[in-house]
Chain A
């Protein structure tokens, strides 16, 4: 562990005035991280006033501080302490921003005709040269996924709902939802590979 990181850990794990000073410095660091993230998401948060954005940054820094202190024992010194701490601030700020942007919105139901949804890059997917793959993929989504897998995968991928937003509405976590998506993707890949539409190489991670 580098010297500066060790000093952070020692001060935060200690007592008295040194710890208080370290806590204040840590909060300032996390607030910088949170503001940085919210600044990158200005467009997403355009409806918020400056005071509301500031409040969101403070909430993110507060929650990040809780995370850092709770998991201080996990810090192994494999990166700088400040880098390790920053990621908590970015996670909290990004998650709050995504949820704020969706707070008054109903989640879209997976569209019936989801294959006709335009690509994020604007290309009409259905018109692409992968017509056979697309048809098989559509059938596989309908046939091999569980209803839960289908709804989560389509809501996130075709409906473009952020994982954190869907996790909040369902009372679960990003990690648990991603596991559902991961499992669904493995099933789809395996099914398409069996149909000869993907090579074995492409499903080696199954």
Chain B
């Protein structure tokens, strides 16, 4: 993410960190199932774009579930 992107953040409406955490498990399972996670949970993708901490945890949860599957 460039400095400008970091300063301006995502242009779309986004949820906050608490709502992101509340829905992260469902979001990742929808993604891994090939479903349209963004349609089910609007605002979460934009938050992940704007919040590095939540984005890292989203990536970790995806990786952990993939690791479990082997």
Binding site for B on A (CB under 8 A): 33, 36-37, 40, 74, 78-80, 83-84, 86-87, 90-91, 94-95, 98, 115, 117, 119-121, 123, 125, 130, 133-134, 137, 141, 153, 157-158, 162-164, 173-175, 178-179, 181-182, 185, 188-189, 192, 198, 201-205
**Which chain B residue has the least Cβ–Cβ distance from A98?**
B53
Contact status B60-A36, CB under 8 Å: yes
Within 8 A of A (CB), among B24-58: 24-26, 28-29, 46, 50-53, 56-57
Q: Apart from A120-B1, A173-B17, A192-B8, list 19 A-B contacts with CB within 8 A.
A: A33-B64, A36-B60, A79-B25, A79-B26, A79-B28, A83-B25, A86-B25, A86-B61, A87-B24, A94-B60, A119-B3, A137-B8, A157-B6, A158-B6, A163-B51, A185-B7, A188-B7, A202-B11, A204-B13
Q: Select one of B1, B3, B9, B64 contacting A181, CB under 8 A.
A: B9
Q: Which residues of A contact B50 (CB under 8 A)?
A: 181-182, 185
Partner of B4, one of A36, A84, A133: A133
Of the candidates B2, B53, B63, which one forms a contact with A94 in the assembled complex, judged by CB atoms under 8 Å apart?
B53
Chain B residues near A119 (CB-CB < 8 A)? 2-3
Q: Identify B2's interface contact among A121, A174, A189, A205, CB under 8 A.
A: A121
User: Are A182 and B52 interface neighbours, CB within 8 A?
Assistant: no
The A interface is mostly helix, strand or loop, or mixed, namely: helix
Contact B4–A134 (Cβ < 8 Å)? yes
State the CA gap A191–B50 with chains docked (Å). 19
Number of residues on chain B facing chain A (CB within 8 A): 36
- Given A90-B60, A125-B3, A125-B4: A174 and B17 interface contact (C-beta under 8 Å): yes
The 27 sampled A-B contact pairs (Cβ below 8 Å) are A36-B64, A37-B60, A40-B63, A78-B26, A79-B25, A80-B25, A80-B29, A83-B29, A83-B65, A90-B64, A91-B57, A119-B3, A125-B4, A133-B4, A134-B4, A137-B7, A157-B3, A158-B6, A163-B53, A164-B53, A181-B50, A182-B14, A192-B8, A203-B11, A205-B10, A205-B14, A205-B46
Report B15 CB to chain A, min CB distance, Å: 10
Q: List residues of chain A with CB within 8 A of the CB of B61.
A: 83, 86-87, 90
